[in-house]
Structure 1
Amino acid sequence: MNKQKYWLPVLGIFVALIGCITINTPIKAADTIHENYVQKIKAKKELVMGTSPDFPPYEFVKNIHGKSTVVGLDVEVGQEIASDLGVKLVVERMDFDSLLVALETGKVDMVISGMNNTPQRAKSVSFSKNYYQSGQDLLIRQADIHRYHNYRSLSNRTIGAQTGSIQYSLVKQQAKKAKLKGMDKDNDLILALQTHKIDALAVDTATAKAFIQNTNGLIRIPSGFKTSSAGSAVAFPKGANSLVQVANQSITKIRKNDLINKVYLPKVSKYMTNHKSKKDRQKANSMWAYKDFFLAGIGYTLMISALSVCLGLLLGIFLSLMRLSKNSWAKKIAGAYIEFVRGTPLMVQLLFIYFGLGIVVNIPALLSGIIAVSLNSAAYVAEVIRSGINSINVGQKEAARSLGMSRQLTMRYVIFPQAIQNIWPALGNEFISLIKESSIVSVIGVKDLIYQSRLVQADTYRGVMPLVITMILYFIITFSLSRSMKYFERKMGHSND
């Protein structure tokens, strides 16, 4: 076998990827000073704010009249800046560790997510003045109140922190005798703390107060960390000086009038404790009250899966025919594509399409998810179809050609119909897997079933039940599809008897 069969096509793919990434360098050089950035915002009449809504009281999701709404201290700050600019505030939700990437690639205009202004972050983005200063605490279980007093008490124990946060860096740098456990969501870390997966959780003081107010069995203690952070600030694209100046004026007004303590935090507290009796809280936090969230998630999941199945199947057939063709270049290109896609994680492909290609063209999150899942599925479908075609006895092809049928007609009317019966179970498994794998789109803010379950977790402070409901819903979807595939499989088997 020629070892260099795929060398040139694979090299071409890598060159294209590097080319897309390096496009960002001249863009940054040309835009070191965005003197007209404010004018651009006013021209489109909206200011897009990126945030990770799992960080109460800074930002969290609330079920308001059956609609998931991001509320919190940071949203109020963002609204103040947008109001001073005379534009509408649009909130984009995504994971915390994706926020700065979204900012650098133009997906959002600013990031407000309880983000601390650190020298490392300031190398890639421009920060406003700090708008709020809070301390650092550790959340522990109430049963451990006499065991742990600060991070020094947690030697050889596990401390959790949100990936990409300042707390993650503080634990890593100062609590060197402790084990560090990072997760994307604070809600997952709270669940890990409650189920003894971690022994403490490092969070902002305001966030710690919010969680213990709404979660039974937890208590906060001083962290003992030394930090030089100036506090939470608004992040903007590097060099967006005109927009930073506008934000600083808004923050100066906020601090002068003490709006955070007098207006914003009291308003946020009402969202967090708007049910007086225990019965009211239980009713508001029941899973039935969030049925619209789960239904919306099912709708997005089914839509993404259906479109990805269709596109993946069409592209997979095309790729399999390329690999079976006599054209050497078609074989190499299809082979290189299949090997590259199967050799890289779907999450990396998704992030590259959404963020990497976003440097050249702004692809919406939903479309990015459909494209990524479709392209990934096509590589696996192509191999399933190719193996099915190769499984047909060569005598079938020879008999058809001896009757005067062309190669195309032979494939269409003789080989492919028989191959379908052989590959149907494998295709069914791929389609079922695709429904489950489509959940990866939640990391870029697509409102699928996983994303909606995260919202329910954040709003109810209940970690396990939303996951149970989500598992049941996924099982119903995949089981129904599996039964349907088996029905058609039996029908095809009966038609050949």
Structure 2
Amino acid sequence: MHKHTWLYLLFASLLVWLLAAAAQPQPVQAATDDSLTRIQQKGTLVIGNSPNYPPYEFTTNVNGKEQVVGMDIEIGKQIAKDLGVKLVVKRMDFDSLLVALETGKVDMILSGFSPTAERKQHVDFSNTYYTSKQDIIILKTDKGLYSDRKSFNDKKVGAVVGSIAYNLVKQQMPGAKVVGMQNASDLVLALKAHKIDGIVKDSASAVAYANSDPTLAAIDGKFTVSGAESGNAIALPKGSYALQAAVNKSIAKIKRKDQINKQFLPAASKYISTGAKTHTMWHYWTYFAKGVEYTVGISLVAVIIGVLLGSGLAFVRLGKITWLKKLANAYVTFVRGTPLMVQVMFIYFGIGTFYNVSAVVAGTLAVGLNSAAYVSEVFRGGIQAIAKGQTEAARSLGLSQRDTMRYVVFPQALTDIWPALGNEFISLIKETSIVSIIGVADLIYQMRIVQADTYRGVLPIAIAMVLYFIMTYSLTKLLAFLEKKMHHEVTV
């Protein structure tokens, strides 16, 4: 076994233990249940939501401002009103919602959630507020080929990962190959590109897509779904009985007044129609501008974190303090050996359980810490590449070890590693797209909002691609200018 392997394993085990402890739901006994009181005292009701599921929840542009709208949002507003608090919508990927609820990032999940048996093991549910069957979205030109779920043998069928539809495809369409994606807009884009043959979605959502796009059609999938799992309910933390009772009271009032059919769904359909008829991307320029702003800001801060921490790690690894060298080596090895996406989720959901950190801070910190591991290797390699004769000559002239590094070795190393360092900076801009999974409004996140609002897949992607190119090309030119200047100063 490698002499440092035990340290790497210890480091990994510690992180896994911390994440497991953070994700463990803490049941609350009825006698000490303060779930409702806590929300009323803080004055806000935070709901977890994945706004890419019209008419339940989706984003739209209202008077130039981005808003999350839909049936579920209206239900959330009614519940918040009944509780006497303000509604706060926290947006993130659908398959991150359960983790967010279990780790206390949100007070409840209101996002077209079905109360499956598996989910009930981790969270409690309110009474069902809406019941709908599952349809299959197909291309209108293929309408004669498919009649229901049994028509898709040897075909590719898409569904949002983590949804009831995804499980239904696996369980009741054995002859089909399930294709899971994070976003409904991506599924529609894949369908239009003939990458998949159908999309299983809640009928209300499927009809909304079909009515908004003349190339699509919705057919009844004829799935067999149990009474509880066929409906939508609100997910709540385990043991939050007081909050559950209050939510059920609001749901009963909404049902009694038939607000979903009379108010919430018609209002959502109006927004869908407005977004679908918007023919120019210029209407959404503020979305893309906001995405660029977040992407540049996160990249800039992450670069500073990466350079400062990365250079420090490099000097530690080149130093003589054994235990610090081992710790730095373990950090670099572990970070380089795990995906950035996992690191983002760990910091936001895991460490964020012990200290309430925002999605922007968590995403920026994760990207910066990840970059530091690679920057460390760049610095270490550049310093070690400087000939030993340079150090010996400097020391013979009376320079201290610190001055030798500062005035002789490091300036030469920086000149040599600049291209590799610049490449890391450019890659970092593109890697910031990962933070969209926890709801950070970067360029990718804003692109998905435009897709959901306009029901267009390719054009928003093309615009985002051009914007990323402009950012990276501008940085490339700046880095080239600085590199040329450094070489000129060295030559002089």
Residue in structure 2 matched with residue 117 of structure 1 by the alignment: 115
- Choose which of 161, 180, 183 in structure 1 pairs with 2:181: 183
Counterpart of 1:429? 423
2:224 equivalent in structure 1: 226
Matches within 5 A, 1:77-476: 77-230=75-228, 231-274=231-274, 282=277, 284-476=278-470
* Residue aligned with 1:228, SS: coil
Give the aligned residue type for 2:208. A
Q: Report if aligned partners of 1:159, 1:199 keep a CA contact under 8 Å in 2.
A: yes
Whole-Å Cα distance in 2 between the matches of residues 467 and 229 of structure 1? 39
Q: Which runs of 5+ in 2 are unaligned?
A: none
Aligned residues: 489
Farther off after superposition, 447-456 or 3-12: 3-12
CA displacement at 1:216 relative to structure 2 = 2.1
TM-score by length of 1: 0.96
Contact 2:23 2:102 in 1 (8 A): no
Report deviation, 1:5. 2.9
What is the rounded CA distance, in whole Å, between the counterparts of 2:253 and 2:398 in structure 1?
84
C-alpha root-mean-square deviation of aligned residues, in Å?
1.4
- Contact residue 210 and residue 218 of structure 2 kept, 8 A: yes
Range with bigger deviation, 386-395 or 228-237:
228-237
Greater Cα offset, 485-494 or 442-451? 485-494
Check whether the contact 2:30–2:241 (CA below 8 A) recurs between aligned residues: no
How far apart in 2 are the matches of 1:342 and 1:161? Answer: 32
Question: Among the aligned pairs, what percent are the same residue?
Answer: 51
Q: Give the aligned partner of residue 488 of structure 1.
A: 482
Output the CA distance in 2 between the equivalents of 1:179 and 1:30: 41
For 2:70, the equivalent position in structure 1 comes to 72
**AA aligned opposite 1:326:** K
CA distance in 1: counterparts of 2:12 and 2:30, whole angstroms: 28
Output the CA distance in 2 between the equivalents of 1:30 and 1:111: 18
Q: In the TM superposition, what is the alpha-carbon distance from 1:7 to its structure 2 partner?
A: 2.7
> 1:374–1:150: structure 2 CA closer, same or farther, 3 Å change rule?
same
Asked whether the equivalents of residues 59 and 75 of structure 1 are also in contact (C-alpha less than 8 Å), the reply is yes
Q: Secondary structure at the match of 1:332?
A: helix
Deviation of 1:29 after TM superposition, in Å, equals: 4.8
Contact 1:126 1:236 in 2 (8 A): yes
Equivalent-residue separation in structure 2 for 1:21 and 1:100 (angstroms)? 14
Describe the SS at the equivalent of 1:329: helix
1:414 aligns to what SS in structure 2?
helix
Q: Deviations over 1:356-378 (max 9, x none)?
A: 11221221100000110000000
SS in 2 for 1:124: coil
Counterpart amino acid of residue 472 in structure 1: V
Does 261-270 or 418-427 show the bigger shift? Answer: 261-270
Which whole-Å CA distance do the structure 2 matches of 1:451 and 1:61 have between them? 11
Compute the TM-score of the two structures, normalised by the length of structure 2: 0.97
* Cα separation, partners in 2 of 1:27 and 1:132, compared to 1, 3 Å: closer
- Number of the residue aligned with 2:18: 20
Give the deviation of 1:496 after TM superposition: 2.3
Amino acid in the other structure paired with 1:331: K
Structure 1 residues 220 and 63, CA gap change in structure 2 (3 angstroms): same
Quote the offset at 1:106 in angstroms: 0.4
Segment drifting more, 359-368 vs 4-13: 4-13
The CA distance in 2 between the partners of 1:461 and 1:51, in whole Å, is: 19
Runs of 5+ in structure 1 lacking a partner?
276-280
CA distance in 1, matches of 2:27, 2:11: 26
Q: Residue 180 of structure 1 aligns to a residue in which SS? A: strand
Secondary structure at 2:2 match in 1: coil
Following the alignment from structure 1 to structure 2, what is the Cα–Cα distance between the partners of residues 378 and 29?
38
In the alignment, residue 192 of structure 2 is paired with which amino acid? Answer: Q
Q: Deviations over 1:120-163 (max 9, x none)?
A: 11110010000000111001111111111111111000010000
What letter matches 2:86 in structure 1? K
Select between 34-43 and 424-433 the one with higher mean Cα deviation: 34-43
Residue 101 of structure 1 deviates from its aligned partner by: 0.6
Amino acid aligned to 2:402: Q
Deviation at 1:36, TM superposition (A): 1.1
1:273-323, CA deviations, whole angstroms, 9 ceiling, x for partnerless residues? 248xxxxx65x3411110111111111000000000011100000000011
Q: Alpha-carbon deviation of 1:25?
A: 7.6
